[in-house]
A and B are shown apart, each in its own frame.
Chain A
Amino acid sequence: MLRGLPRKPRIAVFKFASCDGCQLSLLDAEDELLAVADAVEIAYFPEASRRMLKGPYDIGLVEGSITTHHDAERIQQVRRQCRTLITIGACATAGGIQALRNWKDANEFVRHVYARPDFIQTLKMSTPIAEHVPVDGELRGCPINKNQLVELVSALVAGRKPNIPTHSVCMECKRQGTVCLLVARGVACLGPVTQAGCGALCPRYGRGCYGCFGPMEAANPASLSEIFRAQGRPNDAIVRDFRNFNAWAWQFRQASEEAERA
């Protein structure tokens, strides 16, 4: 993925429309944080340090989606400054929960929420970073998994391919011996269409997968919708199943729109 990276690559963390939870995962990696800080130069990370060094950077981690004209321009500058650009989290990779606006009139929200709507300038849509600039890699999740983040940084530093699987959550359940909630309890679980990476956290605690990591490779949400329907789940519930953190990821978008029409 990365060749000829300096021995101590310069890393920058950028925020767009997001809740900051993903970049906090880096600070949350307590056991590895010192080692990470030792292996890379944290050159720009406003959430963590007032020391903000100028670019260019070897690795840019981008959190958040594009929701304003200003951000649409800023991401272009960020891209130019980063040799490798990695999007982190559902906002950056899919548009995030704020992409729910994409089905509604954003200006109407502005009129209802803000005392002075004329101060607010916003785009009609919340869109992922990859719709604006080329992206070299992504970490999924709402929030991302800190182990995946540490794995990504370790791999970039070592110049090896990171182990970031793109298969289903089901495989994680099966490997850890979690009994299938969908089959054994009829729980509406998005695991069969969702990308692994969280360690099947919710199913392990008896909750169906919410799809935080977005659509897996070759996801077939149409088939899952049919399964949910056959189990008696109403279409409006199926719309909501697919319309959350990764609502704008096209596979989930298509599935929610199909359920809406059904």
Chain B
Amino acid sequence: MTEPAAQPSGAVWLTREGLNQLLGALRAQGYEVIGPRLGEGAIIYDRIQTIEDLPAGWTEEQEAGRYRLRRRQDDALFGYNLGPQSWKKFLHPPVLRLFSAEKNNGEFRILPPDGESPRYAFVGVRACELAAIAVQDRVLLGDQFVEPNYEARRKELFIVAVQCTRAAPTCFCSSMGTGPQVQGGADLVLTELSEGFVARAASARGAEVLAAIERRPASAEECRQAEEAVAAAAAQIVRRLDTRDLVRRLYEACESPHWDDVARRCLACTNCTMVCPTCFCTTVEDTSTVTGDRAERWRKWDSCFTESFSYIHGGSVRTSVRSRYRQWLTHKLASWVDQFDMFGCVGCGRCITWCPAGIDLTEEVKKLLAPV
């Protein structure tokens, strides 16, 4: 096949069949392809084979404490925003055996870790989610100590980003400077239009995969439409978080009476931290069999909303829910900046939607910072 003349932007046009070929090409390269699909009344991230698995014609309604699947007028494959799960469940697994050990004839032996880490290709990563992966990169890879399980999954990861062409009422990526336009971190960037996709490679690996599938240069009109679609998503964003001088202002609000108001509503159920794409905390559990000849160490997602999370000798440091919510919010938006030089929040709004009580951090920040 002759190489089609590239547009100045390098953008190409993919039909749906082209996308299907892309999924096939990724699988042929040995990737486990993960993408959006319908499951349990939501759009979740799971293994996909072909474009038939994608949630064609489905979208969602989101508001604080509420999510509902809805049919779209069209059959768009990526016509939704965000579901309950984030990609962290693959890169930073919720439950992971760190090692196991056996006692045999009085001899104690550490067993080798479980197999090789999976090689993932993510399809349908949003701009805010790329930013979230970048945050976890900073936390888990960016310092003196590297988290090896994350690293093994991360270094093999192939990312097909899909830009948002609509925004949910819970989105506030524009406030956090993370979206809806993809800024980096992907191998391929797609924008869905009614008949297909405007695609561009954002890495050498991305270009290589793209070169192997059916495509043609995108027309100037198609590129313009794609830009307009993303701009339309940006225009739909209604939630705002004022980040100016936020770190100092939040620290100053540490004794605000409003924390008590949040604590009255907060269930301390941990849902916000579980759905947050940047929350990275884990706990470690050691187990032993009743016979005492086998022991295992497991790592599990943990949350600063549990009592045991701040347990040190003598008891828990954060005994009140007030102190736990304050810890979480100020970490996301203030002390994270001190620690990692970036916000721990990317504006995806999952903590708003998936809080059963509908606690909305953008609203809470406004109230915390309001002059008394």
Contact = CB atoms under 8 A, between A and B. Distances in A.
B142 interface: no
Nearest to B265: A223
Interface stretch (A13-21, A35-43, A46-54, A80-88): A35-43
Interface stretch (B24-32, B50-58, B216-224, B286-294): B286-294
A192 B271 contact: yes
Interface stretch (B65-73, B108-116, B193-201): B65-73
B370 interface: no
Interface in A172-190: 174-180, 182-186
Interface string B258-284: 000000111111110011000000000
A26 to B, nearest CB: 12
B290 A171 contact: no
A183 B289 contact: no
Interface string A183-204: 1111000011100000000000
Nearest to A179: B40
Contacts of A180: 67, 84, 271, 354, 356
User: Size class of B's contact patch?
Assistant: 35 or more
Interface stretch (A97-105, A126-134, A151-159, A233-241): A151-159
Contacts of A218: 268, 307, 321
Contacts of A158: 288, 292
B356 A192 contact: yes
A157 to B, nearest CB: 6
Contacts of A185: 41
Contact of B287 (A153, A154, A157): A154
A73 interface: no
Given A36-B290, A160-B286, A184 B267 contact: no
A223 B67 contact: no
B66 A168 contact: no
A220 B359 CA distance: 14
Interface in A41-74: none
Nearest to B301: A175
B267 A157 contact: no
Given A171-B274, A174-B270, A224-B356, A166 B308 contact: yes
* Among B42, B84, B89, B307, residue most surrounded by chain A Cβ atoms (within 10 Å): B84
Contact of A192 (B84, B269, B287, B307): B269
Nearest to B287: A163
Contacts of B292: 39, 154, 157-158
B290 A150 contact: yes
Interface string B86-113: 0001000011000000000000000000
B274 A179 contact: no
B67 A184 contact: yes
Contacts of B266: 220, 223
A5 interface: no
Nearest to B306: A167
A3 to B, nearest CB: 16
A193 B267 contact: yes
A224 B274 contact: no
B274 A220 contact: no
Contact of A223 (B264, B286, B289): B264
Given A150-B290, A177-B85, A184 B269 contact: no
A174 B89 CA distance: 10
A212 interface: no
A158 B66 CA distance: 45
Contacts of A155: 288
A257 interface: no
Contacts of B270: 167-168, 170-171, 174
B357 interface: yes
A175 B94 contact: yes
A40 to B, nearest CB: 8
A30 interface: no
B47 interface: no
B353 interface: yes
A258 interface: no
Interface in B330-351: none
Contact of B269 (A160, A166, A170, A178): A170
Contacts of A28: none
Interface of B: 39-42, 44, 65-69, 84-85, 89, 94-95, 264-271, 274-275, 285-292, 300-301, 303, 305-308, 321, 353-358
Given A158-B288, A220-B321, 12 more contacts: A150-B290, A163-B286, A166-B306, A167-B307, A176-B94, A178-B40, A183-B353, A183-B355, A184-B69, A192-B271, A223-B266, A227-B358
17 contacts: A35-B289, A35-B291, A154-B288, A155-B288, A168-B269, A175-B301, A177-B44, A178-B40, A179-B84, A183-B65, A183-B356, A184-B67, A184-B84, A222-B264, A223-B266, A223-B357, A227-B357
Nearest 5 Cβ contacts at the A-B interface: A174-B274, A192-B269, A179-B40, A175-B94, A154-B290
